[in-house]
Structures are given as C-alpha cells and as structure tokens.
Structure 1
Amino acid sequence: MRILLLCSSYNGLTQRVWTELREDGHHLDVRLAHDEAAIRKAVETTRPDLVLCPFLKERVPEDVWRGQRVVVIHPGPLGDRGPSSIDWAITDAEPVWGVTALQAVEEMDAGPIWGHRTFPMPAEPPRKSAVYNGPVADAAVELAREVVAKAQDPAFEPQPAESFGDAVIGRLRPTMKQTDRVFSWEDPTDHVLRRVRAGDGAPGVRSELAGVALSVFDAHRGSATPGAPGSIALRRHGALLVRTGDGAVWIGHARIPGGVKLPAATVLGGALEGALDEVPESLERPTGPSDGYREISYRRVGPDGCVGVVRADLYNGAMSASQGHRVAAALRHAAAQDTKVLVFEGGEIFSNGIHLNVAEGRPDATVESWRNINAINDVCRELLTCTSQLVVTAVGGPAGAGGVMMALGADTVLLRRGAVLNPHYRNMGLTGSEYWTYALPRRVGMADAVRFTRDCLPVGAAEALRTGLVDEVLEGDRTAFDEQVVEHAVRLATGDGYAAALAAKQAAREADELRRPLETYRVQELAEMSRDMFDDRFGYARLRHEFVAKAKDTSFDDPTIARSVREATAEVEAPPVVAEIAG
C-alpha cells in the first residue's frame, strides 16, 4: 500500500511508524506539513492510497480530507480533543488515558473513529515525554497497523465517536497555558511534580528560584529538609533541591526567557551564591541509596550479586563532558567489582551522544564540544576494554549518533522493541567518533556500516536484529524490558558457558589489539572531528544552533527520506564515509 506520513516533525513516533510499516512491506513517503500549501503539495506529489498523520499539529485543508482518506492519530482517548491532551492528563491525574485514530474533518480531532486504545496511567506523576514515548507510542503503532488493514477493506466505514457509548471518556479541552500550569513552592510536592512533569520537554513551567525568573523542567522527588518553601537546600552537579510545602523536589534543568535549556545550577550561576543555606554540594557516588534523583547509579543483582548494573539516566539522553567523566568512573567502579556480568543501561532515552545544549550555552561552544566528545569516548573505551566481565548494553529507549555507537561497545546489545536507532551523525555536520569505525563494521560489516552512516535513516528493531546491529529484541514495556535484561544477564553469569565466553572475548580483544590498536581508531576519528568542529567544514556550528533553538524543520520536502535528509544539509560537503575512515 502507498502511504503518506504527513507530520509536523519527523519525531520519534513518526520514525517508529515509518520503520514498522516499511517492515510490513508498504511503500511510505514522509512530508512535513508546515502549512496548507505544503499539505496540498505533499498529497499531489505522492498520490497516496492513505494519508496517515502520527504527529500533526496543523489543520488539514478541506479539499484534501474530502478527496483523500486522511487519518490522524491523536494522543488521547475517545472523545478527547485539543492540542494539550497529555499535559491535561498528567495535571488532572487521569487514571486511564489512550490514543485514538480518527478521520480528518473540519473540526480538529472530531472525525469518525478508525480505532482506539486505552492504557492505565501511573500513580506517580509521569513525565510527559515518558507517556508519549512509552504507552502512547506503543498504542499509536498498533493503531497505525490497524488503520492500514482497515483501509484495505472496502467494506470498512469509520464510526462517529458517540456510537462507542461508555468508551467515550474524553472531552474537548483548551490549549494549556502558563496560567493553567502555575504552582507555588508552598504547594505539596505531588502538586509541584505534576505541574512540572506535565510541561516537561516543552514549554516548561514559569517560576522563580534565587530571585531569578525562569522556566523549570526535569523534576524529581527529593528528601525533605527544614527550610522555607522555594529555598534551595542542596546542589548535586547541575540539579538543585528546592523545598516545597511538605518536602522537596530536585529541579534538573531550567531556562531563562530567551535562553537555552541547561542544568538548573548553570542557569542560576552567580545567583546561587548565598542561596544555598546548607551543604553546597551533595556528592553523587556510584553506590549508595537514592533520594529520588540520581543520574548515575550502580547496583548488584542476581545470585550472590553476580551482575552489576550501571544506569545513566540522563535528561533527553544527552551526555555532557562532566556527565561523561562520571559515567566512565562508574563503569570503572563496576568493572573492578567481583561480578561476572556488567550491564550498562540508559534512562527513558538510551543516549543521543553529546549534549548540544550545554555546548551551545558556553561561550567556547566548539571547545566544549571537543571536551564532550572526548569524555564520551572515555565511556566507550571502558565498555570496549572491560575484559574481566561480559558486558551487556540495555537499549530500552531510542538512541542516536554516538549513543548508538556507545551501545555497540558491549558483547551483547539488547533492544526493546519500539526503540528506534539512528546510527548516523551527518544531520549534525559531524563524521563522528565513539570508536564507531571499530565497533560498527565489526558488527554489521562494511557495506551496512556505510549504508547506516550515509543514508541518515532510522533503524527499527527488525532491521537492527536482521543486520546484527543488536543481538536480541525484547518485548514489553520499559519495566518488563528492564526485568528481562536482568534475567538475561543472570543467565549469562550462571550458565555453564560463561568461562568459555569470557575467554573467547579476551582472546578476540587481544587479537584485535595486535591487528590494530584500539586507540588508533579514536585518533583517526578525532582527527576528522577536529576539522568538523574547529574548521566547521560541514556546518556543525549552524546545525547545532538550529537544533538547540528549535529552528523550523525543513526536512522531507523531497520524494524520499534519504534525499530529504541530504537536502537538509545540501549547503555542506558530504562527510567521508566509514570506508574512508576505517580503512
């Protein structure tokens, strides 16, 4: 079937629908819907059998939806309408939420129904991105397949929402404004968490800390400390512990008006002087109890603690230079323990490589980028050179660029079905590092390594498994995935073949080192990256700035995704491909 994905942005959900439906054998085109003229041009150019809109903010023109089957996937249950669906669901502590596939009509989100799903919402206030990238995305992909199947059935007719009776649990809600999000630091912790997490990612919630007006993001429950609500009790790296009416919350990120979203302590800067009335810094260690906010942690699981798990739960999957140093230290700590298997896992997003916001927020953005890539290289080296244990990476959420290459440093890569990989750097004007010229070809071969890094296309679970990019794909939600990862690691640690597997790993690493020392890959990659960053030969500075500033996405205005991605960077020379770097 010929399907047009019409979207406001080629976001993670759209990429996932694209990869899944392609695996089903359908022909897909992607176009961005900036305005009515763009929508009309997209339909006229592609002449699809079905227009599917997994992420669409714009209204579909009447002449398009009257002349073409246009189905919108809306992140709300039957009857829900409006652009702030998930924000309201979190704010109002809805116990059940859902996703609905409906036909486009004059009124947005009001058309007849093609299908719907519901799911329970967690009692603990969830982050908006966790809901969207988790149960909403899972349900949306199921609905996309259902819509495609129904579109091929000549007898199918979508039904009005009112015909579903008691299943209609949603209603029309307005766009959520800052006045709807407002909170006081004197409010209970749960109230503050809900407000901040409902606005996480964008637009945040306006507030004030240390006398500075800002928007806050990335809230985590903290331990209560005596003091006035709104005062700052502790600083842990970039996060600040702020007292509430009945406890405290950690605020990980913030943004001043017109500024860049950065770690909260960085945003406040000098305003923190005198604002911390207790211990100025709470040191984070790879072991020890958590009080609700710990980016990097280590725990032992399994019989006799045979498996060590390092978790790097980094906001939006971005790893700054300082975070990279801390993750590398945690991995060294884990490798020194008397465990048999080391598991490295990420948070909601596994990793997207360097922290572009932190780099952009520095006056020496290029130098900070250089520090950043070197710190992440150190993380990759710890994974690649750990020969005292078997190493497993658990990719439970999406990964991109250096984050994908980082995962490949393990002996076994486990992927949660639904997590999309983007193993390329070109959309940011970089040739890449993270030992990728060693790790990628040894897994997938030179031909696929060139294809993955050249074409700038997302890779779904089926293709990742088929090509050897990952070793196993696990089903279920994130909780089920994490449990299966531990079970897998315990089986490795306690199985009869453990000693032989470890010996084979050690022999292979020694042979690879004799053939070509590992550090030569890093040196050669960084030689290219130095030109990317300091000479700016492929437009890294501009692309980084546009990404951080959330500049309008102009990708996918041409017939194929590959060509569209190239068009987005058409003003820059094509970077060397993997074959030229890896030799």
Structure 2
Amino acid sequence: MHILLVASAFNSLTQRVLAELQDRGHTVGVELAVGNDDALREAVRTHAPRLIVAPMLTTAIPEDIWRAHTCLIVHPGPPGDRGPSSLDRTLREGAESWGVTVLAAVAEMDAGDVWAWSPLKVPPLAGKSDLYRGEVADAAIDAVLLAVERFASGTYKPKRQKAADLAAGWRPFLKQAERRIDWTSASTESVLRQLRAADSQPGVLDELLGTPWYLHGAYPEDELRGTPGELIATRAGAVCRATTDGAVWILQMRPWHASGSGLASFKLPAVDALGDLLPAGLPDVTAPLELPAGRRTWTDMRYSEHGEHGAVGVLNFSFPGGAMSSVQCRRLLEAYRFACTRPTSVLVLGGLRDFFSNGIHLNVIEAAPDPAEESWANIHAMNDLVEAVITTTDRLTVAALGGNAAAGGVMLALAADEVWCRDGAILNPHYRLMGLYGSEYWTYTLPRRVGEREAERLTQSALPVSAKRAVELGMAERVLQAAPEELGDEVMRLATQLAGSPDLAARIAKKQAKRAEDEAAKPLQRYRDEELAHMRRNFFDRSEPHAALRSAFVRKEKAQHTPAHVAQLGLPR
C-alpha cells in the first residue's frame, strides 16, 4: 500500500522505517514537518496515502489530517509512558527494560489508541543516541511493521489507553536543572547516567575551567583518580574527569552561548573544544591497542585475536558520531598496519554496535583555522586508510557494520573483501548532499560491486540503503541477525568459520591475482588523482556549495522544507 512518512527530520529512524517498508513492497513517500502545516496538508493531498506513519515527530499533526487519515505515531516508550523526554528519563533512572509504542494521533500527546508495541532491553553502557539507533530502532521497526500489518487487515481494533494510566504516565520535558551534576558529591555511576541520558542532545550543561559547556558522551575509568570535578588526563581527544569514587571519560564538548546571542555551537572532541584552556602538564594517558580483559576504561580502538592459533584478528574502532578526523584516520591506519603484521588469515574491521563510519569529520573541519586545508588533509588521511585495506592481499578482510555508515565510511567498508551488516544497519553511499564529488576510491570499489549504472544511481539518488538491499545490490555479503549487544559474538563466530574454510588459501590467491590485474588495467593512484581533482575544487573554490552545506550541517540548522530528492519518493514518475 502507499504510506506517507511524516517526520521532523530525515533522521536514522525515519530512513530505516522508509527502507524497511520499501523492502516489503510498500510505496512510501516522505514529508518533513518543519512548521508549515499547509505544506503538510498539500503533501497529504498529493500522496493520498492509505496510512500515515510518523517515525520521529516533535510537533503535532494538524487535527484535520488525523481526523481524516489514520496517523500512527512512534513513541519511544511502552504503553502508558508519555512525554517528550522518555529516553532521557529512562536512562537517567537506570531502567533495564523499556519499549516502543505505535499509537494513533489524537489531540493529547501520546494518548491515542495503541496499535502495537515492542519491548526492549536497555544495555548497561549505551548512551541515548546509541540506544536510539540500536535497540529502540529495532523495537520501533517491529512495532511499525506489526501496526502496518494490522491496519492492512482492516479488522484489527487498536487498544484504548485507560484514563488513569494516561494521567500516571505523563512525564514532563527534562530540563537542564534536573540534569545538573554536582561533582563534589556525584559517584561515577550517577555521572554516567546523567551524561548518557543527554547524549547526543542536548548534552549536560556544566562549568569547566571557569567556562560553561555542554558535555557529551561518557565512559567509566577504573584506574585514574583525582579530586572530584578536576581534569586528570587526556586520551585520543577525550578528557578524564574525577568523580567521588573514580573517574569518567568525556568524549565531546560544545560551548554554551547565551540565549539570543545568535551563535550556534557544535560538538568537538573535548581536547579540541577546550583548546588553550586545557591545563598545562595534564598527562596524556594512552591505552594499549591490546587492552587487557576486564578493564573499565575508554579507548576508541582496540585489537584482539581469536580462533584456533589466533587465526582471526579483530580491529574494533568507534568514533563519536562515526566521524573520523585526520588524526583519527592516521591513528586507525597505524593500528591497521600493526594488525597486518600479525599472523592472521582473516582481519575484521569494526564489529561494534552503532556507527561504523561516516567519513571525514565535518565538525573538526568547520572549527579549523583553514577549513579547506583541513578538509584536504582529512580526505588524504581517509584515502590512505582505504588504500591500505584495498592493497592488503595476504589475508581476507571483513568490514563488520554494527550500525550505520555513510559517504566515505561506506567506501571504507567496501574496501574490504566482505561486508557484513547487522540487520537494521543503514548505508548512505553518497556525497552529493554535502556538495562533494567523493573520494576514498569510490569510483573503483563501488562500480566493481554493483556495476557502473547502479553506482551512478546510488550516488545521485542520495537515498538510504537497508542491509538487506545492500546484499541484493552486491554491496554486502551478509546480513547478521543479531541484537546490537550480540553482534561481536556473531561476527567472531562467522569470522572463525571463514578462517577455517578449506578454500581460504585459494580465495587469498585469487584476491592477489585480481588486485594485480586491476592495478595493471588502471592503477589505484589514477582513481585517487581523478577523485581528488573534483574534491579540491569542492573544498577550495568559494563558488562551490560545500562550505555552506557543511556549516549548516554541523550547526544542525533545521530544514525549511522537504528536500527535493526526498519529496519525490512514492510519487508517480
């Protein structure tokens, strides 16, 4: 049937609902609710949908629309839970289980009849955004698909919520006053709950080194100690701050600006955000790449070996928001080169929950003294990393995507011999919406997997691709049916099987021959030079749109209308 998605943003959940419904044969349109009710009414008239679904909505659907059409609202809470800060409060209160409800739009928020709901387990270390893209998104898809099926049957009667439950379930917007951390009395656990409940938005407003900041992202530290509230160390762009019984790593910060100042702040690695404010002599405590088992600390990459005689090497990495700065790319390349010195036959990249990679770090670039030069350095660092993966011919490489990937992050995955995606991962194999031609050897890796025509369509349509569809297109080899917390075990099981495959040596030999053949036909350097000729113009030519698009993106400027490439979805051609 024809379904119209109404959302406040074309975010990860909206994209996943779109892709999942399309995979099941529905035609789907999308309209962004950006404060123009007349535009929304016009979209409903144009699409004439049988059903309207709102995966993520921060404003109300006009009454005349929900009275004329069945409108299903996705709420990140179980039946009876109500209010705009559901996930924030859930994490802040330390709940171990939660749910997602699909209910009918009515005049009162979250008070409509229940069409479906799905339970979920809350993992112990996930922040709000990670939980949202993982367990919440999984539960939301289950509930949406069930609700759509029930609606299509024409016989299902949604369950009315009881007035007493509605009154008891209302929880108001969580304000910064409630998020405040008293570092002189707060335990590590309480700090972690507050920070995880605010990740990635809105952050926790705090004062550090005499300046107000929003703090984003937190992990526990089990060895370093200091005076509560003081900074005691740095690591890979993060800062370590002491609590009353331990310490926490804070990954990102953004400056606070007074209301009405007209200034828009954006997140940066904490060390970059603090800049000259960072105390002199603060120790930089690096973590070993092969971290001992049982450590409770934070590091953005680690290496381990598994299977018989250590045949499988695993290089885990996880960067906030999936963005990879020049420094992060170089560090990951160094770790990759180390992994390639080990006597393994299979090397896995990724294998963690949440983002695999979204390519170059637009926030770090935007904050650089010369954004064009930093862009140029960042794309070269990404290219060096991707090239190292492409030219690894003495073992098989696997990119294991526990979550979403976009732009250069997709191309990093495609550089591997096999791509395994967790069911629910969304790939955006394009650069166009950021005004970029693209690099990371995409003109080599993407066409060799999907063909020239499909590569052109994917990069120009600029639309999300589900894990299932990625396999159908040839972009990936496997869809892994695993919960986010179970992904690592499933990847290890399959990688161990691959390492023990009787045809492994033959596959590696075939890979070596193919790489030599491709290099003879057209050297990798030529692909790189051709791509970078376009990218240099994108970065340095002031008439190009990239700089403005980047600025709007990092400052999270709201869309004023539904983008044209999205607005056309579901309409007759």
Query: Shorter-normalised TM-score: what interval?
Result: over 0.9
Q: In structure 2, what residue type is equivalent to 1:210?
A: L
Counterpart check, 1:282 vs 2:285: yes
Aligned to 1:353, the other structure's residue is in SS state coil
What pairs up with 1:84-163 in 2 under 5 angstroms? 84-122=85-123, 124-162=124-162
- Compared CA separation, residues 284 and 125, structure 1 to 2 (3 A): closer
Residue 326 of structure 1 deviates from its aligned partner by 0.4
User: 2:327 aligned to 291, 297, 322, which one?
Assistant: 322
More displaced 10-residue stretch of structure 1: 456-465 or 418-427: 456-465
Residue 517 (structure 2) aligns with: 511
Residue 24 of structure 1 deviates from its aligned partner by 1.1
Residue 26 (structure 1) aligns with: 26
Deviations 1:291-311 (A, max 9, x none): 421001111111121111111
Aligned to 2:556, the other structure's residue is in SS state coil
More displaced 10-residue stretch of structure 1: 501-510 or 528-537: 528-537
Residue 385 of structure 1 deviates from its aligned partner by 0.7
Q: In structure 1, what residue type is equivalent to 2:549?
A: L
User: 2:181 aligned to 172, 180, 183, which one?
Assistant: 183
Counterpart check, 1:239 vs 2:244: no
Deviations 1:123-168 (A, max 9, x none): x2430012111111111111211121122222222121239x99x9
Residue 471 (structure 2) aligns with: 465
Residue 380 of structure 1 deviates from its aligned partner by 0.4
Q: Is the 8 A contact 2:34 2:561 kept in 1?
A: no
Deviations 1:358-414 (A, max 9, x none): 001112111111111111111101110111111011011000011101100011110
What pairs up with 1:251-262 in 2 under 5 angstroms? 251-258=250-257, 259-262=265-268
Which residues of structure 2 form unaligned runs of 5+? 258-264
Q: Is the 8 A contact 2:188 2:248 kept in 1?
A: yes
Aligned to 1:267, the other structure's residue is in SS state helix
Whole-Å separation in 1 of the counterparts to 2:168 and 2:477: 41
Residue 172 (structure 1) aligns with: 170
Whole-Å separation in 2 of the counterparts to 1:562 and 1:51: 15
Deviations 1:199-257 (A, max 9, x none): 01111001122222211111110124342111111111211111001000001110111
Residue 64 of structure 1 deviates from its aligned partner by 1.1
Q: In structure 2, what residue type is equivalent to 1:372?
A: N
RMSD (CA atoms): 1.9
Counterpart check, 1:42 vs 2:43: yes
More displaced 10-residue stretch of structure 1: 485-494 or 449-458: 485-494
- Compared CA separation, residues 249 and 169, structure 1 to 2 (3 A): farther
Q: Is the 8 A contact 1:531 1:537 kept in 2?
A: no
Q: In structure 1, what residue type is equivalent to 2:279?
A: E
Residue 262 (structure 2) aligns with: none
Residue 56 of structure 1 deviates from its aligned partner by 0.8
Residue 537 of structure 1 deviates from its aligned partner by 4.8
Residue 554 of structure 1 deviates from its aligned partner by 3.7
Aligned to 2:373, the other structure's residue is in SS state helix
Q: Is the 8 A contact 1:199 1:217 kept in 2?
A: yes
Q: Is the 8 A contact 1:404 1:421 kept in 2?
A: yes
- Compared CA separation, residues 191 and 54, structure 1 to 2 (3 A): same
Residue 526 (structure 1) aligns with: 532
Q: Is the 8 A contact 1:81 1:173 kept in 2?
A: yes
Residue 397 (structure 1) aligns with: 403
Aligned to 1:391, the other structure's residue is in SS state strand
Q: Is the 8 A contact 1:93 1:125 kept in 2?
A: no
Whole-Å separation in 2 of the counterparts to 1:480 and 1:199: 25
- Compared CA separation, residues 129 and 170, structure 1 to 2 (3 A): farther
Length-normalised TM-score, structure 2: 0.94
Aligned to 2:465, the other structure's residue is in SS state coil
Residue 535 (structure 1) aligns with: 541
Whole-Å separation in 2 of the counterparts to 1:230 and 1:412: 45
Residue 564 of structure 1 deviates from its aligned partner by 7.8
Counterpart check, 1:303 vs 2:308: yes
Residue 109 of structure 1 deviates from its aligned partner by 0.6
Which residues of structure 1 form unaligned runs of 5+? 566-583
Whole-Å separation in 2 of the counterparts to 1:286 and 1:387: 23
Whole-Å separation in 1 of the counterparts to 2:480 and 2:430: 23
Deviations 1:76-117 (A, max 9, x none): 111111111000000011222110010000101101110111
Whole-Å separation in 1 of the counterparts to 2:179 and 2:372: 36
Q: In structure 1, what residue type is equivalent to 2:244?
A: G
User: 1:545 aligned to 543, 551, 555, which one?
Assistant: 551
Q: Is the 8 A contact 1:457 1:562 kept in 2?
A: no
Q: Is the 8 A contact 1:212 1:271 kept in 2?
A: no
- Compared CA separation, residues 4 and 562, structure 1 to 2 (3 A): closer
Aligned to 1:421, the other structure's residue is in SS state strand
Aligned to 1:373, the other structure's residue is in SS state helix
More displaced 10-residue stretch of structure 1: 367-376 or 148-157: 148-157
Residue 432 (structure 2) aligns with: 426
**Percentage of pairs with the same residue:** 43
Residue 331 (structure 1) aligns with: 336
- Compared CA separation, residues 539 and 450, structure 1 to 2 (3 A): same
Q: In structure 1, what residue type is equivalent to 2:215?
A: V
Whole-Å separation in 1 of the counterparts to 2:145 and 2:496: 35
Whole-Å separation in 2 of the counterparts to 1:95 and 1:169: 23
- Compared CA separation, residues 180 and 340, structure 1 to 2 (3 A): same
Whole-Å separation in 1 of the counterparts to 2:65 and 2:568: 25
Residue 261 (structure 2) aligns with: none
Residue 572 (structure 1) aligns with: none
Residue 73 (structure 2) aligns with: 72
Deviations 1:483-529 (A, max 9, x none): 12111211121221111111111111111111111111111111110
Aligned to 1:485, the other structure's residue is in SS state helix
